[in-house]
Amino acid sequence: MRQKKTISLLLAAAMMLTLCACGGQTESGVTAESLSGGTGRYVETNITPESYASYAADADFNSCIALQYGDDDTVDLAVRFGVRDSAGNLASSDLIWYHSEDKGDTWEEQTLTDLWDRDLAQEWYFGTDGSVYSWTLVTDYDEDTDISKVTAVRLYKMADGEESVTDYDFCEPERTMGGWNPGGIYQDKYLLFIVSYEEGDTLYVMDITTGEFLWTVSADYYNLSFAVAGDTVYVSDRGQLNNSYNLSNGTLLDELDMTGMSENDCYLSSSRMTEQGSYYFLDSDLNFCMGILGSNLKEIILDGTYYRYGSQLNVLDSSMDFYVAEDNTIYINARSDEQELNLYRYDYDADATYGTTTLTVWALEDSATIRQAIYAFQESHPEVEVDLQVQDYGAYSESGRTLNDVLTTLNTQMLAGNGPDVLVLDGVDYENYIDKGVLEDLSDLVDGTEFVGETVSAFQQADGGYYVLPARFTVPLLLSSQADTPDSLDALAEAVAQEGADDPCLATTYYDLVWNLWYPSASALVTGDGVDTEALSAWLSALKTISDTYGYFAPEDEGTDSNFEEVIPGAYDYGNLNTYVEDDAYTWLEQDSPWGLTTLDAVEDLVMALSTCERYGKDISDFTVTQAPGLVEGAYAPKVLLGVSAGSNVTETAKEFVACVLSLEVQQYTYGDGLPVLQEAIDQQLDYFADPAAEYGWDIDELRVLLDSRTTPSTASELVLEAVYGAAEPYWSGELTLDDAIAQVEDDLALMLAEQ
């Protein structure tokens, strides 16, 4: 596990006091020292009700609409399971109430469909007396003015099988509503919720026993959030209003200084406050953290890398709820991309250890596939602690290290026989390591396993060994909506020049263009013998033709930017897709271009593109998918390149980890970093999307054939990329001649390699 150090003595001391004040012990495991190894750790238990899976299997969708915890070990969970008709409308739904009195170890369930208006039950609350509440806002919509105004708060209460419905006049019905953020009921009495108006946000506090609105707090813009701890309400609009109030009467208790906090940490509705002013939150890396108001310091309690809730399959949004009980038990509700609910409990075990064996995994960049493999591996190997070491380098790094610094350090370690156990060699000159004999032969992991095309077999060396294995791969694609498709880089450049600058662009930014045409040629540009000047000349010249046609490097007053960041004027004026610049397939649809470049890393991306084609009326009768034109046939970009150090003290464990990465358990899912190399996994994905593709008139077997024909891995170290890009842009912008650009690539690459 990555070592975690105490951020500061002040923060550690403040947390100790907070935990003691909350009823926990200082040895509760929340401090950073307990996470850096040794005895004591949080133990994960999946407490999702067993019957959930059977309900979800019969539903088109599901949503967790209530999750509530009590400090008396009670947990309440309400889930809606729905079925849509052929038109996509809600045909039926079931509301299931799960109740546990032993922290989720066992559950009682009750179907509430017949007792509750399923269309109006939005926010639920389970009272301590056994009653159940739900509430919503009642609005009056005027079709003539297209304006909605809140007229009442509707409160539902169910007790002893009887339901009551009461409308309470809203305190400011004359104001125009833009939306509302769900709130909640607290202490069986106080209802808090936020309503967005044209003038800004307002927090309302209502006494549900009397129907009286007690007090309000307003903000000047739409970012108000709140959290309740005991009798205190903490309110923030991300830096503009940072106060705490008495829950019952709205008396201002304290003005909080939150200016040092990040924007996400200030969003209190996704956090949990303590009565002492500290707070819990999930950061953008899915680490479960504690912080102190008025400070941007944080303490990581649960590292999302090593617990299932932090899986790359899960979504960090408002539905990922969490709670910390008085005994410091942590509950986290995680929702996957497929809407699958998983409810986890984390109990601190003072006698538990992180494992007797440490396995280090080194990577230049973070990897979703590797993180997912860590969960699976540590679940089957509890005696092993996996230490993922993602390197910190570059212009924005805290370390100040350059890429060359990082690779030089790794080379020194590997040659000395004391490097990491497992290496993720994306962006690294792995052939140098193979030549020097510092990597283990992984042939036993390949024998008897079927992989896609030659994605893995292409890595077999002359001696028959496999010293590097890819776990993922991407394919550079050219999408075409016409029968005549350019089949070479020169042909593409010529076709673009003939179309002219007034016609829709092949790619929105020059960065997109370069990225999608790099891999079809990369392995031909720089070989083991050095720079292939003829190939590099052809590649640079073709891309300059396209650049000149589209005016990518025109003066800034013409709307372009030589730093590849700004989109071409009018590039998003086609349709209503509102896509990002890297979504090349959708850009192609928006611009109605005859061709579109993209890099395929997920099968569903193409099917979604076809769906969008149909929705926006694009003619795809001649829709074809081919490899993006380049200097290499059968090109693909291997990703998540795995190697095992010959100097590792845990070689067999390291190989078992690589086997885990290549297993169906990890390979079958899409993480956004490439297609699976395992044939069984890619077959599952192709079979799953075959029928949807056929609905749009496209045979997905075209993609199957294309993937099977991948023969040439297109790899280049990050140093090669730096050298090529460093000279290419000045050439494309006219600052260098072609000969000077090639000479600069040769000089820069020679210097970089000499420094290692």
Q: What is the pLDDT of residue 386?
A: 92
* Residue 682 pLDDT > 80: yes
pLDDT (mean) for 62-70:
78
Q: Please give the pLDDT value at position 418.
A: 87
pLDDT grade for 4, boundaries at 50, 70 and 90: very low
pLDDT > 70: what percent of the chain? 79
Map tokens 């009653």 to a residue.
131
Closest CA to 733 of 547, 565, 489, 569: 547
Is there a contact between 453 and 475 (Cβ–Cβ < 8 Å)? no
Tokens of 380: 């089957």
Say if residues 484 and 597 touch (Cβ distance below 8 Å).
no
Predicted confidence at residue 640, as pLDDT, reads 96
For residues 34 and 11, what is the distance between their CA atoms, to the nearest angstrom?
15
**What are the residues facing 207 on neighbouring strands?**
190, 212
Give one DSSP letter per residue of 383-432, joined into a string: TEEEEEEE---STT-SS---HHHHHHHHHHHHHHT-S-SEEE-TTS-HHH
pLDDT score, position 560: 39
Of 645, 635, 706, 638, the closest CA to residue 676 belongs to: 638
User: What is residue 568's DSSP assignment?
Assistant: P
Q: pLDDT of 408-437, one tens digit each?
A: 999 999 988 888 999 999 988 898 899 999
Residue 679 pLDDT exceeds 80: yes
**545 or 144, which is more confident:** 545
The partner residues of 141 in beta bridges, in order of sequence, read: 148
Cα separation, 579 vs 631, whole angstroms: 30
One DSSP character per residue, 586-616 reads: HHHHHHT-SEEEEEE--HHHHHHHHHHHHHT
Render pLDDT for 328-350 as a digit per residue (tens, 0 to 9): 899 988 877 666 788 999 999 88
Give backbone dihedrals phi and psi of 375, rounded to 5 degrees, phi first: -60, -50
Residue 684 has pLDDT above 50, yes or no: yes
d(CA 489, CA 485): 11
Confidence band, pLDDT 50/70/90 cuts, at residue 295 = low
Q: Distances in Å between the alpha carbon of 487 and those of 41, 397, 494, 589, 710?
A: 58, 41, 11, 21, 16
Query: For residue 324, what pLDDT band results from cuts at 50, 70 and 90?
Result: confident
Q: Which two tokens stand for residue 541?
A: 């010249």
Helix (H, G, I), strand (E, B) or coil at 80: strand
The predicted structure's pLDDT at residue 756: 55
What span, in angstroms and rounded, lies between the C-alpha atoms of 508 and 584? 8
Confidence bin at 2 (pLDDT 50/70/90):
very low
DSSP conformational letter for 30: -
Place of tokens 């997920």: 602
Cβ neighbours around 173 below 10 Å, total: 14
- Are the C-beta atoms of residues 298 and 318 closer than 8 Å to each other? no
Q: What is the pLDDT of residues 443-496, one digit of tens each?
A: 999 988 999 999 999 999 999 999 999 999 999 888 877 767 888 999 999 988
> pLDDT (tens digit, 9 = 90+) per residue, 206-261?
999 899 999 998 877 667 888 888 888 888 776 555 788 999 999 998 766 555 45
Q: How far apart are CA 114 and CA 112, in angstroms?
A: 6
Strand ranges in 278-390 using DSSP code E only, listed in sequence order: 278-282, 288-292, 298-302, 314-315, 322-324, 330-336, 341-353, 357-363, 384-390
How many CA atoms does the CB half-sphere of 510 hold within 13 Å? 26
pLDDT attached to residue 214: 95
pLDDT of residue 270 exceeding 70, the answer is no
Contact 539, 632 (CB under 8 A): no
Tokens of 426: 């994306």
- pTM for the model: 0.73
Give 167-201 pLDDT, tens digit per residue.
998 887 777 777 777 788 888 899 998 888 877 88
- Residues in a beta bridge with 334: 342
Alpha carbon dihedral 585, 590, 591, 593, in 10-degree steps, equals 50
C-alpha distance from residue 522 to each of 9, 84, 302, 422, 461 (Å) = 50, 48, 41, 26, 20
What integer is the mean pLDDT of 300-314? 82
Q: How far apart are CA 325 and CA 367, in angstroms?
A: 33
Phi, psi dihedrals of residue 205, rounded to the nearest 5°: -125, 120
Q: What is the DSSP string of 213-264?
A: EEEEEE-SSS--EEEEETTEEEEESTTS-EEEEETTT--EEEE---TTS-TG
H or E element: which one contains 144?
Answer: none
Count of CB atoms within 10 A of residue 716's CB? 19
pLDDT of residue 11 exceeding 50, the answer is no
Q: Which ranges constitute the DSSP H helices of 662-700?
A: 664-667, 679-695
What pLDDT is stored for residue 316 in this prediction?
60
Check pLDDT > 60 for residue 24.
Answer: no
Tokens of 587: 């850009």
pLDDT at 38: 47
Rounded Cα–Cα distance for residues 488 and 584 (Å):
19
Spatial CA neighbour of 510 closest among 538, 542, 546, 535:
546
- The answer to whether residue 62 scores a pLDDT higher than 70 is yes
Top pLDDT among 578 and 537 is at: 537
Task: Give per-residue pLDDT as tens, 560-580.
Answer: 333 333 333 222 222 222 222
pLDDT at 23 over 80: no
Q: Are 287 and 310 in contact (CB under 8 A)?
A: yes
| Chain mean pLDDT for the chain | 79
Flag whether pLDDT at 531 surpasses 70: yes
- Does 473 or 398 have the greater pLDDT score? 473
Determine how β-strand 123-126 pairs with β-strand 132-142.
antiparallel
8 Å CB contact between 477 and 627: yes
Q: How far is CA 197 from CA 140, 204, 231, 639, in A?
A: 14, 13, 27, 48
Mind giving me the DSSP string for 487-509? -SHHHHHHHHHHH-TTSPPSSSS
Q: How many CB atoms lie within 10 A of CB 151?
A: 15
pLDDT at 503: 57
Q: Is the pLDDT of residue 28 over 60?
A: no
Report the half-sphere exposure of 17 (CA within 13 A, side-chain side). Answer: 12
Percent of the chain with pLDDT over 90: 28
User: Helix, strand, coil % (nearest 5) of the chain?
Assistant: 30, 30, 40
Residue with tokens 């935990």: 19
